[in-house]
Amino acid sequence: MSRRTIAAGAMAGLGGALAVGIMEWFSRTANYPLAVIPFATSIVLVIGAPEAEPAQPRALVGGHVVATAVGLAVLKLIGPDVWAAAVAVGLAILAMRLTGTFHPPAGINPLLVVSNSLPWSFLFVPVLAGALFLTAFAYLWHHMLRRQPWPRRWW
């Protein structure tokens, strides 16, 4: 394994740890359970594989918003049922594909929404706010510390 590969992995690990630490701090400060903040895998993707299509802002922000909205709609229509959670995840995958916002980590959002009967405010905080924060963090991380371009495109 090359030194460059090791250095890139260490830098991604540091960025991921810092982002999760900030997320944990937010969770405690806002008194919002970390278990329902769906960004740990998004952080891994955006920091560790920034060139991937699902790591671009459209997918990151749009995927979380679309998947959460689908989960909220299914919860409203069907209720907090095990099969409703399954349907919500399946429909969220379809919706993300159709809207060009496919972000695999966002697949957990409809499951969280339906399983925990989360309110519509979940769409805005922590989902939209968190996705925008993560986008800003990733931009600063890649430009200021890695000195690498990110994103490949904004939308």
Q: How far is Cα 155 from Cα 152, in angstroms, rounded to an integer? A: 9
Q: What is the predicted pLDDT for the residue at 22?
A: 87
pLDDT, position 125: 87
Q: Are 130 and 64 in contact (CB under 8 A)?
A: yes
Give the pLDDT score at 33.
67
- 142, 149 Cβ separation under 8 angstroms: yes
Peptide bond into 80 cis (omega under 30): no
The pLDDT of residue 34: 61
pLDDT of 117 reads 96
Per-residue pLDDT of the chain (155 residues; tens, 9 = 90+): 899 899 889 989 999 899 888 888 887 887 776 666 788 899 999 999 999 999 999 999 999 999 999 999 999 999 999 999 999 999 999 999 999 999 999 999 999 999 999 999 999 988 999 999 999 999 999 999 888 999 999 98
Q: What is the pTM of this model?
A: 0.91
pLDDT of residue 35: 61
Burial grade of 121 (CB within 10 A; 0-12, 13-18, 19 or more)? exposed
